[in-house]
Amino acid sequence: MPDTVQTITFNPNASDLAVELQVLTPQHASYTIYLWDQAGANQIASWKGNNQSPSNDSYPLPSPLADNAHRLLQFDAPLIDAAGAGNQYQVDMIVYQEEKEIGRVSITGTMPATAYHATGMARLVSQTTEAV
């Protein structure tokens, strides 16, 4: 299966790798962020939340950081727009290293109905792995 998933490159020798979910449009949203193994069959970790609170939507990835090479980050986010269909939605999954953004998966579109399920995925790539 060809891997057409967006990649996000991180430095395994640096510190503080984290993933955050942002809902930038006026929908009520909940989400699950998954960290999968390279094959996408086994979950390493998952985090749940919603956009009710302005904080606590950022999660540190497990250490040692090098183990995250080739792993998949994915989110599922059910959205509800009380205005019904027609409003734009945008859900971004952002990866930070040492508090700097190193990659972003941005899923946008138009709400086709009152409720919609947004999903996005990225593969983590280690700078060292690529060099090797």
Q: Where along the sequence are the contacts to other proteins (CB under 8 A)? A: 1, 21-26, 28-32, 34, 36, 40-41, 43, 46, 48, 50-55, 57, 72, 74, 76-80, 82-84, 87-88, 113-115, 117, 119, 121
Task: Return the structure tokens found at 50.
Answer: 């919603």
The CA–CA distances, whole Å, from 21 to 13, 54, 69, 113, 131 equal 24, 11, 20, 22, 29
Name the residue nearer to other proteins (CB basis): 17 or 72.
Answer: 72
Name the residue nearer to other proteins (CB basis): 65 or 94.
Answer: 94
Residue 73 CA to residue 8 CA, distance in Å, equals 10
**Nearest one of 50, 68, 52 to 60, comparing CA atoms:** 68
**Nearest distance from residue 88's CB to other proteins, in Å?**
8
DSSP category for residue 16: -
**Nearest distance from residue 19's CB to other proteins, in Å?**
13
**Nearest distance from residue 13's CB to other proteins, in Å?**
27
